[in-house]
Each structure stands twice: as C-alpha cells, then as structure tokens.
Chains A and B, each alone.
Chain A
C-alpha cells in the first residue's frame, strides 16, 4: 500500500462520514461543522493529488471564509431553527431519497464501467512549469485569461448585490440624545429597562428576566426578541411561581 492509497481511503471515509453527518444533523450548526470537516478532508485529498495551491485555497476559502460566513448567518437567523417536519408535497421525502440513491447508483456504475485505468499524475506538469503555483498561474493568466477577467466582474457584481440586499435605508432622521431622553421621561419609565436573564435559568439575551413574583418580564427583552418564547420559559415559570 502506497501513501496515496492510505490517504485516499482515510480521507474518503472521513469525507463521506462528514457529508452524511451534514445531511442527518438536526441542528444547522452541527451541519456546518460537519461540512467544514469534509472540506478539510478534501483539501488533504487535493494535496495528495498534486494540487498544493488548490488544497491551500480550499482550506482558506471554504473552511476559512465560506463556513465562517455560514456560521455568522446562523447566528443571525437563529441557532435553534430546526427543520419543520411537515411535508408540503406529499411523499416528497421518500421520492427524493429514491431519486438520490438512483442517481448515486447511476454515477457509480457509469464511472466504474467507462472510467480510466491509469493516471498520468500531475507531477510531470508541475515539474515542466517549475511548480504547481507557477503552472496554474501560466494557465489562469494565459489560456484562461478571459475567464479570469469575467470572474472579476462576477465577484464585483456579487459583492454589490450582497450590499444592496443587506442594506437598510434609513427613512427617518436619527434621534438625538435629548429627544431620546425626553421620550423616555414622558413614557413614564425614566430608568433603564431591566436586563434580560436576571434570576432566570439562562442569562442569554433572549431569556426574559424574572420579576420578584416569578413572572417573566417582556420589558427586559431587546425589541427583536419580544415575540420569541424561549423553550425553557414554561418550566422556568412553574418552578419559581
């Protein structure tokens, strides 16, 4: 057994396990961690296939940038958001499973019957151009220069699109400190609002503080969490009241 074979089987088993873990995880955060695991394994595979540049890029771009972006969005959208179990299309789960397995069987059989028997290996190509990065640079800035330029336009468009989508236009002028203080005094609650999580089981911002009589205080929550009911609230109240 050569080193390539060992690396292939280890990373193949790990990456398939990571992919399966991603699909069957209940929580989205666990899925994100499984995907990051799979991507690191694929990077190791790229290294063993002679793609040092691609392996590094895989780690930097995918596990570094893309998966962290996913985790940031998960923090915004809510870590607890799990799947609804209601099927909007009847039997979609079963049919989807059957189709996925059929496609897997089709791909596997097609590759194994019509595939290749020997590999040339990129070591020669890397040597000819003085290294993997140099060889890729000659291709990207030579034969694929037009595609590279179009890619830059795509990236700028994507960045602008994300900015436009995430941008919130302010329609009213920002209130001054004096205006805020006047409003607060006139509203009859001049002191700061109670902070969330006080005397409750958790001290996270989405847990309402408990009043002396044990009832949760909705005033203690930040505005965006007011409608959210924490899963532990019901038990929490029963214990204290």
Chain B
C-alpha cells in the first residue's frame, strides 16, 4: 500500500483538530482538539518510521506523548483554576490579560 495514505490521514486528523481549536468555544473541547493535533503528528512520525525503515520516528512519537501528557496536566489545572475564579469554561471569558 502507498505509504502516503498514512500521511494524508494524519493531515486530515490535524485539520479536524485545527478546525476544533478555531471554532469551538468550550476550553475543554479546544484542549481535546489540541490533543487530536498532537496525535496526528504522532501518526505522521510513526508513518515516517515505517517509510524509512528506522525506529527514530517512533522514538520521536514517544517524546511527543510525554510532552503531551505534561501539557495536559498543566493546561487542565489552568482550566480548573479559571473555572474556580470565573465560574465559566468558555475561552471568551478569560480575557483579563487583554486590559
């Protein structure tokens, strides 16, 4: 099978994730869309590993997973703190830094 199919699938998943980040207003769904984009990047890494026949792509995907886990922990903590003070999970509410 043509290995481009894997990369195209990764591109489609990344596009859907980017669409979610641009369009949705709920902070948690935006965050899930970011996770989707990271997963698409992971798929591209694993597909690259498959294409080149080396394991370097899989090692890179492993590091992406670690960074994604750390990012989720801090991001969700920030969402919880904002919800505690402002009683809202909408990303339009947290605009205090603008002024």
Contacts and interface: CB of A to CB of B under 8 A. Distances in A.
Contacts of A159: 73
B33 A22 contact: yes
Q: A54, A61, A132, A161: which has the most chain B beta carbons within 10 Å?
A: A54
Interface in A19-41: 19-20, 22-23, 25, 28, 31-32, 35, 38-39
A132 B70 CA distance: 25
Interface residues of A, number: 90
Interface of A: 2, 4-5, 8, 12, 15-16, 19-20, 22-23, 25, 28, 31-32, 35, 38-39, 42, 45-46, 49-51, 53-54, 57-58, 61-62, 65-66, 69-70, 73-74, 76-78, 81-84, 86, 88, 92-93, 96-97, 99-101, 103-104, 107-108, 111-112, 115-122, 124-126, 129, 132, 135-136, 139-140, 143-144, 147-148, 151, 154-155, 157-159, 161-162, 165-166, 227
Given A46-B46, A49-B50, A125-B54, 12 more contacts: A23-B19, A32-B32, A42-B42, A51-B46, A76-B83, A84-B90, A96-B23, A97-B22, A103-B18, A122-B50, A122-B58, A136-B62
9 contacts: A54-B42, A58-B65, A77-B83, A77-B89, A84-B25, A143-B59, A154-B70, A159-B73, A166-B81
